[in-house]
Amino acid sequence: MGIGHTRWATHGEPVDRNAHPHPSGDGRLALVHNGIIENYGPLKKELMSRGHVFDSDTDTEVLVHLLEDILKNEAVDLLEAVRLALTQVVGAYAIVVVDRDNPDHLIAARKGSPLVIGVGEDKGEYFIGSDASPIIEHTRNVIYINDFEIAEIANGELLIKTVDNEIKTPYVEHLELQLEMLEKAGYDHFMLKEIYEQPRSIRDSMRGRIYPKEGFMQLGGLKEYDEKLRHAQRIIIVACGTSWHAGLVGEYLIEEFARVPVGVEYASEFRYRNPIISEKDIVIAISQSGETADTIAAIELAKERGATILGICNVVGSTIPRMTDAGVYTHAGPEIGVVSTKAFTAQVTVLTLMALHMAHLRGKMAQTKFVELLNVLENIPKLVEETLGCDEATKYIAEEIKDATNAIFLGRGIGFPVALEGALKLKEISYIHAEGYPAAEMKHGPIALIDENMPVVVIATRNSSYEKVISNIQEVKARKGRIIAIVTKGDTAVKALADYTIEIPDADEAFLPLLATIPLQLLAYHTALLRGCNVDQPRNLAKSVTVE
């Protein structure tokens, strides 16, 4: 038996003193914890008044001292001590505790932070993790622990009960994940592998859902909600980070195709501003991991107010798909690189499908147009494959911008969320400060930043705002900004103005994000590499942000 934890610092800097596991004062217990103990202040004060001495700055250490305190003062075993301790704790946790005096015992518990138990082939063999990926090399049989449940592994036997002492029968799921999906497959980094996987992941996200020849599509997961989707008067999308950017693309597509008003909200803000929401609303929650605490909190609020909650998630069995009314999985496969790449394009693919589905249900699109778009969509993976041919060009441009301290990304219409996503990718992994702006907004402020040192990346493909974007490029050029333009294959007008261009294939404007995002992902990747950054595990970031 053993426990360990890679800590993402919430309370206290990342130094040895704050590293997990945290021992109890008497050294009998050791505990790892993911989450935040919100009332750790008063608990710590109380424990200190009873003689407990703390060695770290973490909230976690309070938990292990609380357990020690209960064990010393009450005639209970460790399982009961954990149960009692958790009734006093406010916040989110996934914990695992071991006991020196009972080396065959291990206790795990969850509220708000993910926890999975893998059931090994040998009797008494168990693996505990925050998600299934680290377990999969040992077993594909897993049990997802629910909030307020405590698991005890004692002498090789597993027992699960709730904090209210109700014994649960574990439900063992068999995962289809393959180990190869979690390996680099010859690529230098997971991020690069995942960028190159996009033709496959987009295709997989459409598989079994569109039938262009038959002029038909289906989203099995939403079947029971077709009536709701047909009559919905408003849709609210909640998400964070890259998933929020996918939401902005979704807003454009759903409004354009299905003519339903859509609002896109940062999940973290939505919860704290008393949003107007009712049972008539449909809330779409988008999340790669399905474990983002802010998104979970937004869903909880929308649920309380009676809205229908639909999910777009990548990780099967994660918390969000289990709490939504219905949903559509993205089939991107496991995303290991901390920054999101293939999950974004898979989310956009599913949102495109939802927009088309709603347009069809609501009679807002002629059948000929519907079939035409299904055909274009089916061909997108091939165009993404072709777009990946820009790798060399992005490598070259990365050399040119690698020493920049700032960068601006501009786009209009559906190109705006692409600009936001390009800027986020660059800042996350290369640590170059980058901002995404609607191209026309530039003149209302950010234009003051432009000089000969400022790389300005512009989404300038031939679509409805092409001419306007050319005017914006002129404005940047007049101020000597270095222009990197994403253009449609065969473009000449932008080429004549820009310092560097990257060509992408021509496609219906609605599908621009699926293509134009690719060179921006590669540009961020190569720039980060040239700056010596850790692209798969950028500083300060975590793959699943399970704290609010």
| Residue 181 neighbours by CB under 8 Å, 6+ apart | 333, 334
* 35 near ligand F6R (CB under 6 A): no
String of DSSP letters for 500-540:
EEEEE----GGGHHHHHHHHHHHHHHHHHHHTT--SSS-TT
The 8-class DSSP code of residue 280 comes to T
DSSP H or E run through 428: helix 415-430
At closest approach, how far in Å is the CB of 295 from ligand F6R? 5
At closest approach, how far in Å is the CB of 289 from ligand F6R? 3
Q: Which of 241, 275, 327, 455 binds ligand F6R (CB under 6 A)?
A: 241
Q: Give strand pairing partners of 488.
A: 504
Q: Of 268 and 465, which CB lies nearer to ligand F6R in the complex structure? A: 268
What part of residues 131-170 is at the interface with ligand F6R (CB under 6 A)? none
At closest approach, how far in Å is the CB of 543 from ligand F6R? 7
* 443 φ, ψ (degrees, to nearest 5): -70, -10
Q: Which stretch binds ligand F6R (CB under 6 A): 64-72, 282-290, 354-362, 472-480?
A: 282-290
* 339 near ligand F6R (CB under 6 A): yes
Q: Which of 62, 106, 236, 545 binds ligand F6R (CB under 6 A)?
A: 545
Q: Which of 205, 242, 501, 537 binds ligand F6R (CB under 6 A)?
A: 242
* 295 near ligand F6R (CB under 6 A): yes
Q: How far apart are CA 254 and CA 353, in angstroms?
A: 10
At closest approach, how far in Å is the CB of 333 from ligand F6R? 14
* 292 near ligand F6R (CB under 6 A): yes
* 537 near ligand F6R (CB under 6 A): no
At closest approach, how far in Å is the CB of 249 from ligand F6R? 13
Rg (alpha carbons) of the chain, rounded to whole number: 25
Q: Give me the count of residues in the chain.
A: 548
Q: Of 245 and 482, which CB lies nearer to ligand F6R in the complex structure? A: 245
Q: Report whether 335 contacts 325 (CB < 8 A).
A: no
Q: How far apart are CA 361 and CA 344, in angstroms?
A: 25
* 247 near ligand F6R (CB under 6 A): no
The two beta strands, 126-129 and 105-111, are unpaired
* 243 near ligand F6R (CB under 6 A): yes
**Nearest to 531, CA basis, from 398, 338, 425:** 398
End-to-end CA distance of the chain: 31
Q: Report whether 253 contacts 352 (CB < 8 A).
A: yes
Q: Which stretch binds ligand F6R (CB under 6 A): 48-56, 58-66, 283-291, 472-480?
A: 283-291
Q: Which of 287, 463, 501, 517 binds ligand F6R (CB under 6 A)?
A: 287
Q: What is the largest CA-CA distance in the chain?
A: 81
Q: Is the dihedral of CA 98, 100, 103, 105 positive or negative?
A: negative
* 521 near ligand F6R (CB under 6 A): no
Tokens (6 digits) for 63: 């938990």
Residue appearing with tokens 């893998």: 118
In a 13 Å sphere around the CA of 467, the CA atoms on its Cβ side amount to: 1
Q: How far apart are CA 389 and CA 403, in angstroms?
A: 25
* 264 near ligand F6R (CB under 6 A): no
* 240 near ligand F6R (CB under 6 A): yes
Q: Which stretch binds ligand F6R (CB under 6 A): 57-65, 241-249, 463-471, 478-486?
A: 241-249
Q: Report whether 282 contacts 236 (CB < 8 A).
A: yes
Q: Which of 133, 201, 288, 461 binds ligand F6R (CB under 6 A)?
A: 288
What part of residues 407-446 is at the interface with ligand F6R (CB under 6 A)? 424, 428
- Compose the 340-379 pattern: x for residues touching ligand F6R by CB under 6 A, - for all others: x---------------------------------------
Q: How far apart are CA 543 and CA 339, in angstroms?
A: 7
The edge-to-edge listing of strands for the beta sheet with 433-438 is: 433-438, 406-411, 455-459, 482-488, 500-504
Q: Of 290 and 505, which CB lies nearer to ligand F6R in the complex structure? A: 290
At closest approach, how far in Å is the CB of 292 from ligand F6R? 3
Q: How many CB atoms lie within 10 A of CB 71?
A: 23
At closest approach, how far in Å is the CB of 232 from ligand F6R? 23
The 8-class DSSP code of residue 112 comes to B
* 198 near ligand F6R (CB under 6 A): no
At closest approach, how far in Å is the CB of 340 from ligand F6R? 4
Q: Of 471 and 534, which CB lies nearer to ligand F6R in the complex structure? A: 534
Q: Of 292 and 517, which CB lies nearer to ligand F6R in the complex structure? A: 292
Name the CA dihedral angle for 137, 143, 148, 151, rounded to a multiple of 10 degrees: -80
Q: How many residues bind ligand F6R (CB under 6 A)?
A: 15
Q: Which of 34, 205, 289, 517 binds ligand F6R (CB under 6 A)?
A: 289
Q: Of 394 and 488, which CB lies nearer to ligand F6R in the complex structure? A: 394
At closest approach, how far in Å is the CB of 380 from ligand F6R? 21
Q: Give the footprint of ligand F6R on this chain (CB under 6 A).
A: 240-243, 287-289, 292, 295, 339-340, 424, 428, 544-545
